[in-house]
């Protein structure tokens, strides 16, 4: 079994966690084919939205993974998740599912609460994640309120500095929300830390994405 991992940005923490979660779901023998193009996220950050060339490069990564023989793939960037949505008909036609890392996380947030805090270090990730939460709330037939939390100046910090900045920012919304969602998979190593600090449900995407990847492979009949 071979799965594609599609990144627009990576940190060692993110790669380690994603691969750990995928192996937990699919076993140590799973073959992982990783593709990364940081220019996709870079262009999106600069423009404030997913540009046509950035979307085209990301779709090209999906097609490259298909050519390399993956059975399914995991889109690991929430900033460009709507690009993954746009090619689902093609994915279904060619028999290679594209799973968004964050979709089930957002659905779980809606199940768990009515006031949902969304934390991100980038505005371009904050808005798409909020949109996904809203879509999940419609699908679940449940009204939710979303509280923004843009973690200013956290992008690129080391682990200790990042955790401190995350804790400080989470403190500004913790009293007003039932659930805190991390919009970026790279935040996931702070999940337990923030949950324990504020006694809140905190959700990050890699474990949800890996579980949904397995479900897609089961549905396909690969496992």
Is the pLDDT at 157 greater than 90, yes or no? no
Phi, psi of 51 (to 5 degrees): -75, 165
Regarding whether 127 and 147 lie in a shared domain, the answer is yes
What's the CATH number where 53 sits? 3.40.50.2300
Contacts for 52-56: CB closer than 8 Å, 24+ residues apart: 54/80, 55/80, 55/83, 55/86
The domain of 172 spans: 103-204
Regarding whether 154 and 119 lie in a shared domain, the answer is yes
pLDDT at position 154 is: 74
**What's the average model confidence in pLDDT over 194-217?**
96
Q: Which helix (H) or strand (E) holds 197?
A: helix 191-198
pLDDT at position 13 is: 80
Regarding whether 168 and 125 lie in a shared domain, the answer is yes
Is the pLDDT at 20 greater than 90, yes or no? yes
Contact between 74 and 17 (Cβ < 8 Å)? no
pLDDT at position 73 is: 98
**What's the average model confidence in pLDDT over 207-222?**
96
Regarding whether 31 and 55 lie in a shared domain, the answer is yes
Percent of the chain with pLDDT over 90: 82
Regarding whether 189 and 147 lie in a shared domain, the answer is yes
Pairing of strands 179-182, 201-203: parallel
Q: Which of 215, 159, 189 is nearest to 22 (CA)?
A: 215
| Domains in the chain, number | 2
Regarding whether 122 and 34 lie in a shared domain, the answer is no
Regarding whether 183 and 216 lie in a shared domain, the answer is no
SS3 per-residue string spanning 22-62: HHHHHCCCCEEEEEECHHHHHHHHHHCCCCHHHHHHHHHHH
Task: State pLDDT tens for residues 129-149.
Answer: 999 999 999 999 999 999 999
Task: State pLDDT tens for residues 29-55.
Answer: 999 999 999 999 999 989 999 999 999
Regarding whether 173 and 119 lie in a shared domain, the answer is yes
Band of residue 192 on the pLDDT scale cut at 50, 70, 90: very high
Is the pLDDT at 74 greater than 80, yes or no? yes
Regarding whether 84 and 135 lie in a shared domain, the answer is no
Regarding whether 119 and 31 lie in a shared domain, the answer is no
Distance, CA of 1 to CA of 27 (rounded, Å): 10
Contact between 70 and 1 (Cβ < 8 Å)? no
Regarding whether 110 and 184 lie in a shared domain, the answer is yes
pLDDT at position 149 is: 94
Regarding whether 51 and 83 lie in a shared domain, the answer is yes
């Amino acid at each position: 079994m071979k799965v594609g991992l599609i990144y627009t940005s990576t940190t060692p923490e993110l790669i380690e966690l994603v691969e750990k979660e995928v192996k937990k779901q699919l076993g140590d023998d799973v073959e992982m084919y990783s593709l990364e193009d940081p220019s996709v996220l870079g262009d999106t950050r600069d423009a404030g939205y997913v540009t046509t060339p950035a979307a085209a490069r990301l779709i090209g990564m999906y097609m490259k993974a298909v050519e390399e023989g993956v059975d399914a793939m995991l889109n690991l960037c929430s900033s460009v998740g709507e690009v993954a949505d746009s090619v689902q008909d093609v994915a279904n036609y060619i028999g290679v599912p594209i799973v968004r890392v964050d979709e089930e996380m957002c659905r779980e947030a809606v199940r768990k609460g009515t006031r949902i805090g969304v934390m991100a270090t980038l505005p371009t990730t904050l808005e798409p994640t909020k949109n996904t939460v809203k879509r999940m709330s419609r699908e679940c037939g449940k009204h939710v309120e979303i509280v923004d939390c843009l973690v200013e100046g956290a992008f690129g910090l080391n682990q200790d500095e990042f955790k401190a900045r995350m804790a400080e920012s989470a403190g500004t919304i913790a009293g007003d929300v039932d659930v805190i969602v991390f919009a970026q998979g790279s935040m996931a190593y702070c999940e337990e830390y923030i949950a324990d600090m504020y006694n809140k449900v905190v959700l990050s995407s890699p474990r949800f994405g890996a579980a949904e990847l397995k479900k897609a492979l089961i549905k396909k009949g690969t496992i």
